[in-house]
Amino acid sequence: MRRLEKKKVNTMMNRDVIQRLIEDGMVEYVKIGLPDVEGVYLGKRVAAPYFLESFEDGFAQSDVIFGWDIAENIVPNLAFSNWERGFGDVTSIWSLQPC
Protein backbone atom coordinates (compact mmCIF):
# COMPACT_ATOMS: atom_id res chain seq x y z
CA MET A 1 0.00 0.00 0.00
CA ARG A 2 1.45 3.35 -0.94
CA ARG A 3 1.68 6.14 1.58
CA LEU A 4 -0.29 9.22 0.77
CA GLU A 5 0.95 12.62 1.71
CA LYS A 6 -1.35 14.25 4.24
CA LYS A 7 -2.78 17.39 2.80
CA LYS A 8 -5.16 19.79 4.49
CA VAL A 9 -8.21 20.65 2.42
CA ASN A 10 -9.14 24.29 2.89
CA THR A 11 -12.49 24.36 1.19
CA MET A 12 -16.14 23.57 1.82
CA MET A 13 -16.94 19.97 1.03
CA ASN A 14 -19.16 19.32 -1.93
CA ARG A 15 -19.50 16.41 -4.30
CA ASP A 16 -17.00 17.87 -6.78
CA VAL A 17 -14.33 18.36 -4.10
CA ILE A 18 -14.87 14.83 -2.79
CA GLN A 19 -14.69 13.41 -6.31
CA ARG A 20 -11.44 15.26 -6.96
CA LEU A 21 -9.92 13.95 -3.69
CA ILE A 22 -10.90 10.42 -4.66
CA GLU A 23 -9.52 10.77 -8.19
CA ASP A 24 -6.25 12.20 -6.76
CA GLY A 25 -5.90 9.13 -4.53
CA MET A 26 -6.39 11.07 -1.30
CA VAL A 27 -9.50 9.12 -0.23
CA GLU A 28 -9.90 5.35 -0.52
CA TYR A 29 -12.73 4.69 1.92
CA VAL A 30 -15.47 6.75 3.53
CA LYS A 31 -17.03 5.86 6.87
CA ILE A 32 -20.75 6.50 6.93
CA GLY A 33 -23.00 6.01 9.92
CA LEU A 34 -25.40 7.37 12.48
CA PRO A 35 -25.55 7.69 16.24
CA ASP A 36 -27.50 4.86 17.86
CA VAL A 37 -30.06 5.35 20.65
CA GLU A 38 -27.18 5.68 23.15
CA GLY A 39 -25.35 8.27 21.03
CA VAL A 40 -22.62 5.84 19.91
CA TYR A 41 -21.56 6.31 16.27
CA LEU A 42 -22.18 3.12 14.30
CA GLY A 43 -21.63 2.69 10.62
CA LYS A 44 -19.68 1.06 7.88
CA ARG A 45 -16.73 1.79 5.63
CA VAL A 46 -17.49 1.97 1.94
CA ALA A 47 -15.10 2.19 -0.98
CA ALA A 48 -14.79 5.77 -2.19
CA PRO A 49 -16.15 5.08 -5.71
CA TYR A 50 -19.24 3.42 -4.17
CA PHE A 51 -19.69 6.45 -1.92
CA LEU A 52 -19.85 8.70 -4.99
CA GLU A 53 -22.22 6.34 -6.83
CA SER A 54 -24.60 6.17 -3.87
CA PHE A 55 -24.34 9.74 -2.62
CA GLU A 56 -27.47 11.06 -4.34
CA ASP A 57 -29.74 8.08 -3.59
CA GLY A 58 -28.46 7.31 -0.09
CA PHE A 59 -27.01 4.33 1.72
CA ALA A 60 -28.91 1.34 3.05
CA GLN A 61 -28.28 0.40 6.65
CA SER A 62 -30.07 -2.04 8.92
CA ASP A 63 -32.55 -0.41 11.27
CA VAL A 64 -31.10 -2.54 14.07
CA ILE A 65 -28.90 0.51 14.73
CA PHE A 66 -31.97 2.03 16.40
CA GLY A 67 -32.80 -1.11 18.37
CA TRP A 68 -29.52 -1.98 20.10
CA ASP A 69 -28.40 -0.81 23.48
CA ILE A 70 -24.76 0.11 24.13
CA ALA A 71 -23.88 -3.59 24.61
CA GLU A 72 -25.57 -4.43 21.28
CA ASN A 73 -28.44 -6.23 22.98
CA ILE A 74 -31.83 -5.90 21.31
CA VAL A 75 -34.04 -3.41 23.16
CA PRO A 76 -37.46 -5.05 23.66
CA ASN A 77 -40.87 -3.64 22.69
CA LEU A 78 -39.78 -1.14 20.04
CA ALA A 79 -42.32 -0.41 17.32
CA PHE A 80 -39.78 0.50 14.64
CA SER A 81 -36.77 -1.76 15.04
CA ASN A 82 -37.58 -5.27 16.27
CA TRP A 83 -37.35 -9.02 15.66
CA GLU A 84 -40.95 -9.16 14.42
CA ARG A 85 -40.27 -6.72 11.54
CA GLY A 86 -37.03 -8.49 10.68
CA PHE A 87 -34.74 -5.45 11.05
CA GLY A 88 -35.26 -3.98 7.61
CA ASP A 89 -33.08 -1.42 5.90
CA VAL A 90 -33.36 2.33 6.25
CA THR A 91 -31.86 4.72 3.74
CA SER A 92 -29.51 7.42 4.96
CA ILE A 93 -29.16 10.48 2.76
CA TRP A 94 -26.26 12.73 3.69
CA SER A 95 -25.88 16.48 3.54
CA LEU A 96 -22.50 18.15 3.28
CA GLN A 97 -23.87 21.44 4.60
CA PRO A 98 -22.58 22.50 8.02
CA CYS A 99 -25.09 22.45 10.82
Question: For residue 8, is it within any domain?
Answer: no
Q: For residue range 34-43, what is the model confidence (pLDDT) as tens digits?
A: 888 788 888 8
- Give the pLDDT band of residue 23 (cuts 50, 70, 90): very high
CA-CA distance, 19 to 61, in Å (whole number)?
23
Question: For residue 38, is it within any domain?
Answer: yes
CA-CA distance, 10 to 63, in Å (whole number)?
35
pTM summary value: 0.68
Question: For residue 41, is it within any domain?
Answer: yes
User: In the chain, what's the furthest Cα-to-Cα distance?
Assistant: 50
Domain hosting 29: range is: 15-91
Question: For residue 5, is it within any domain?
Answer: no
Sign of CA dihedral 98, 49, 62, 70: negative
Question: For residue 4, is it within any domain?
Answer: no
Share of the chain above pLDDT 70, in %: 86
User: Domains in the chain: how many in total?
Assistant: 1
